[in-house]
Amino acid sequence: MHPRPTYDDANLILRLYDMRREVRMRQARAWFTAKCKGVQSYDDLLKLAPAGSDENASYRMVVTYWDLVSSFIVTGILHKELFFQSGRELLLVWERVRDFLPSLREAYRDPNYLKNLETVGIEFAAYMSAQGPQAYDAFLKRVK
Protein backbone atom coordinates (compact mmCIF):
# COMPACT_ATOMS: atom_id res chain seq x y z
CA MET A 1 0.00 0.00 0.00
CA HIS A 2 1.29 3.44 -0.92
CA PRO A 3 1.47 6.15 1.70
CA ARG A 4 -1.12 8.86 1.45
CA PRO A 5 -0.12 12.05 -0.31
CA THR A 6 0.76 14.92 1.97
CA TYR A 7 0.28 18.67 1.87
CA ASP A 8 3.98 18.84 0.94
CA ASP A 9 3.22 16.73 -2.14
CA ALA A 10 0.40 19.07 -3.10
CA ASN A 11 2.55 22.14 -2.50
CA LEU A 12 5.39 20.72 -4.59
CA ILE A 13 2.98 20.01 -7.46
CA LEU A 14 1.72 23.59 -7.23
CA ARG A 15 5.29 24.93 -7.26
CA LEU A 16 6.12 22.78 -10.28
CA TYR A 17 2.99 24.07 -12.01
CA ASP A 18 4.06 27.63 -11.25
CA MET A 19 7.46 26.97 -12.83
CA ARG A 20 5.70 25.82 -16.01
CA ARG A 21 3.96 29.19 -16.20
CA GLU A 22 7.22 31.17 -16.49
CA VAL A 23 7.27 32.98 -19.86
CA ARG A 24 10.28 31.25 -21.43
CA MET A 25 9.11 27.87 -20.20
CA ARG A 26 5.65 28.46 -21.73
CA GLN A 27 7.32 29.26 -25.05
CA ALA A 28 9.46 26.14 -24.84
CA ARG A 29 6.48 23.95 -24.00
CA ALA A 30 4.43 25.44 -26.83
CA TRP A 31 7.26 24.79 -29.30
CA PHE A 32 7.77 21.25 -28.03
CA THR A 33 4.09 20.38 -28.22
CA ALA A 34 3.62 21.86 -31.69
CA LYS A 35 6.91 20.97 -33.39
CA CYS A 36 8.70 18.09 -31.66
CA LYS A 37 6.79 15.29 -33.38
CA GLY A 38 7.91 12.36 -35.46
CA VAL A 39 11.55 12.61 -34.42
CA GLN A 40 13.10 9.16 -34.79
CA SER A 41 16.80 9.78 -34.20
CA TYR A 42 19.40 12.15 -32.83
CA ASP A 43 20.03 13.34 -36.40
CA ASP A 44 16.32 14.14 -36.81
CA LEU A 45 16.44 16.11 -33.58
CA LEU A 46 19.47 18.11 -34.78
CA LYS A 47 17.62 18.97 -38.00
CA LEU A 48 14.61 20.15 -36.01
CA ALA A 49 16.57 21.84 -33.24
CA PRO A 50 20.20 22.52 -34.24
CA ALA A 51 22.75 23.01 -31.47
CA GLY A 52 22.80 26.63 -30.30
CA SER A 53 19.33 27.42 -31.65
CA ASP A 54 16.30 28.66 -29.72
CA GLU A 55 14.60 25.41 -30.71
CA ASN A 56 17.39 23.40 -29.14
CA ALA A 57 17.13 25.50 -25.98
CA SER A 58 13.38 24.85 -25.92
CA TYR A 59 13.90 21.13 -26.37
CA ARG A 60 16.46 20.99 -23.56
CA MET A 61 14.34 23.15 -21.26
CA VAL A 62 11.31 20.89 -21.62
CA VAL A 63 12.99 17.50 -21.36
CA THR A 64 15.27 18.44 -18.47
CA TYR A 65 12.36 20.01 -16.58
CA TRP A 66 10.34 16.80 -16.87
CA ASP A 67 13.37 14.65 -16.03
CA LEU A 68 13.79 16.77 -12.90
CA VAL A 69 10.14 16.27 -11.96
CA SER A 70 10.56 12.55 -12.64
CA SER A 71 13.56 12.44 -10.31
CA PHE A 72 11.31 13.65 -7.50
CA ILE A 73 8.90 10.80 -8.22
CA VAL A 74 11.60 8.13 -8.61
CA THR A 75 13.23 9.07 -5.31
CA GLY A 76 9.93 9.25 -3.44
CA ILE A 77 10.04 12.98 -2.80
CA LEU A 78 6.78 13.43 -4.73
CA HIS A 79 3.76 11.14 -4.44
CA LYS A 80 3.52 9.36 -7.78
CA GLU A 81 -0.22 8.69 -7.96
CA LEU A 82 -1.12 12.23 -6.90
CA PHE A 83 1.15 13.56 -9.62
CA PHE A 84 -0.30 11.18 -12.22
CA GLN A 85 -3.76 12.61 -11.58
CA SER A 86 -2.73 15.98 -13.03
CA GLY A 87 0.66 15.67 -14.72
CA ARG A 88 -0.17 14.25 -18.15
CA GLU A 89 2.25 16.58 -19.92
CA LEU A 90 5.10 14.47 -18.55
CA LEU A 91 3.67 11.48 -20.42
CA LEU A 92 3.38 13.54 -23.61
CA VAL A 93 7.07 14.47 -23.35
CA TRP A 94 8.05 10.87 -22.68
CA GLU A 95 6.11 9.61 -25.70
CA ARG A 96 7.72 12.23 -27.93
CA VAL A 97 11.30 11.29 -26.90
CA ARG A 98 10.80 7.54 -26.49
CA ASP A 99 11.71 6.61 -30.07
CA PHE A 100 14.88 8.66 -30.35
CA LEU A 101 16.17 8.29 -26.80
CA PRO A 102 18.43 5.32 -27.63
CA SER A 103 20.22 7.33 -30.34
CA LEU A 104 20.54 10.31 -27.96
CA ARG A 105 22.10 8.12 -25.33
CA GLU A 106 24.50 6.72 -27.89
CA ALA A 107 25.46 10.18 -29.20
CA TYR A 108 25.92 11.52 -25.66
CA ARG A 109 27.66 8.33 -24.52
CA ASP A 110 25.34 8.45 -21.53
CA PRO A 111 23.24 5.32 -21.00
CA ASN A 112 21.28 7.04 -18.23
CA TYR A 113 20.33 10.25 -20.08
CA LEU A 114 16.70 11.01 -19.19
CA LYS A 115 16.50 7.78 -17.17
CA ASN A 116 14.11 9.29 -14.64
CA LEU A 117 11.79 10.48 -17.40
CA GLU A 118 11.89 7.01 -18.95
CA THR A 119 11.15 5.27 -15.64
CA VAL A 120 8.22 7.53 -14.79
CA GLY A 121 6.93 7.62 -18.36
CA ILE A 122 6.67 3.84 -18.43
CA GLU A 123 4.96 3.79 -15.03
CA PHE A 124 2.60 6.59 -16.08
CA ALA A 125 1.56 4.65 -19.20
CA ALA A 126 0.80 1.60 -17.06
CA TYR A 127 -1.16 3.76 -14.60
CA MET A 128 -3.21 5.30 -17.39
CA SER A 129 -3.91 1.88 -18.91
CA ALA A 130 -5.08 0.59 -15.53
CA GLN A 131 -7.47 3.55 -15.16
CA GLY A 132 -9.23 2.78 -18.43
CA PRO A 133 -8.37 0.07 -20.95
CA GLN A 134 -8.48 2.43 -23.94
CA ALA A 135 -7.24 5.62 -22.28
CA TYR A 136 -3.54 5.18 -23.04
CA ASP A 137 -4.08 4.18 -26.68
CA ALA A 138 -6.37 7.18 -27.20
CA PHE A 139 -3.76 9.42 -25.57
CA LEU A 140 -1.05 8.09 -27.91
CA LYS A 141 -3.17 8.83 -30.96
CA ARG A 142 -3.56 12.45 -29.82
CA VAL A 143 0.09 13.12 -28.99
CA LYS A 144 2.00 11.15 -31.62
pLDDT (tens digit per residue) in 78-132: 999 999 999 999 999 999 999 999 999 999 999 999 999 999 999 999 999 999 9
Q: Is residue 97 part of a domain?
A: yes
Q: Is residue 104 part of a domain?
A: yes
Q: Report the pLDDT averaged over residues 9-21.
A: 97
Domain span holding position 114: 7-143
What pLDDT, on the 0 to 100 scale, is given for residue 133? 85
Rounded CA-CA distance 46/42 in Å is 6
Q: Is residue 2 part of a domain?
A: no
Q: Report the pLDDT averaged over residues 49-60.
A: 98
pTM of the model: 0.94
Q: Is residue 125 part of a domain?
A: yes
Contact 74, 40 (CB under 8 A): no
Q: Is residue 1 part of a domain?
A: no
Q: How many angstroms from the chain centroid is the CA of residue 113?
A: 13
What pLDDT, on the 0 to 100 scale, is given for residue 2? 63
Q: How many CA atoms lie within 13 A of 92 on its CB side?
A: 15
Residues 6+ apart with CB under 8 A from 113: 101, 104, 105
When divided into structural domains, the chain yields a total of 1
Single out the residue of 61, 141, 140 nearest to residue 94, CA to CA. Answer: 140
Longest dimension (CA), the chain: 46
